[in-house]
Amino acid sequence: MKITDLLKKQSICLDGKADSKEQVIREMVDLMAEGGNINDIDTYRETVFKREEEGTTGIGEGIAIPHGKTEAVSAPGLAAMVLPEGVDYDSLDGEPAYLIFLIAAPNTEDNVHLEVLSRLSMLLMDEDFRNKLLHAKDVDEFLAYVDAAEKEKFPEEAEEKAEAPADAFAKPYQILAVTACPTGIAHTYMAAEDLEKKAKEMGVTIKVETNGSGGAKNVLTPEEIAACDCIIIAADKDVAMARFDGKPLISTKVSDGINKAQELIERALSGNAPVY
């Protein structure tokens, strides 16, 4: 589900200002309501605040992605706000938030908010993309940046297959990785994105399994595990480990997958990783 399909012009504010996390969430909920996706604004607002009590959605790097899944949402939607002066959002890195995306999801089994959260997290890992959004001159330019980033990051599957070498999927990956965080949301996907991005820069082949709220995705196969050189586990919760018995393995926290991707990859390639 594309970000640009969910984000309406009337739900975007480029000159937001708030004195507190509570205030910015209330204003974001009002923005979401402008898009016509909410049938009970009070219930939706309460759901967003309740989710925030479980753990901050201020994921760092100046970003926050609050969200709420409830019957009060009639259709999936997004709202976005740029705060030039920032706001104290209780973010994980202790820094102000300047870019807020709010997700609204109906209470259905498909967990659309997790799909959107994953997609947003991967896009927002790109510093250049974040800067473009923060300095967009108007809503049309903001949406154009989002559209361009999505097309670059998520090309059509048919195009990917057409462009891939015939034997691309037969070659073993040098490194395999698993990312996971306690809530199974933003940091899981941010770590995966940073590992993949850094591996590409280094000319290293990698496959990353994400262990998120919607279950494990891009699951590592026994054949891939057997053929790889090393495993990286960047996780703050338990993941299935028995399958890695006998393989060189590096175990670390999920934040290292975001902040120390190159260091982890270099260590994995060094041949000095302990055998699990």
- Hey, which residues are catalytic here? 67, 181
Cα–Cα dist 29/9, whole Å:
15
- Helix intervals (H) in the chain: 3-6, 21-34, 41-54, 112-124, 127-134, 139-153, 157-163, 186-202, 222-227, 254-259, 261-269
User: Residue for token digits 């204003």?
Assistant: 27
Residue type, 165: P
- Torsion over CA: 176, 179, 185, 189 (sign): negative
Residue type, 94: G
Q: Phi and psi for 172 in degrees, rounded to 5?
A: -70, 150
Cα–Cα dist 247/94, whole Å:
37
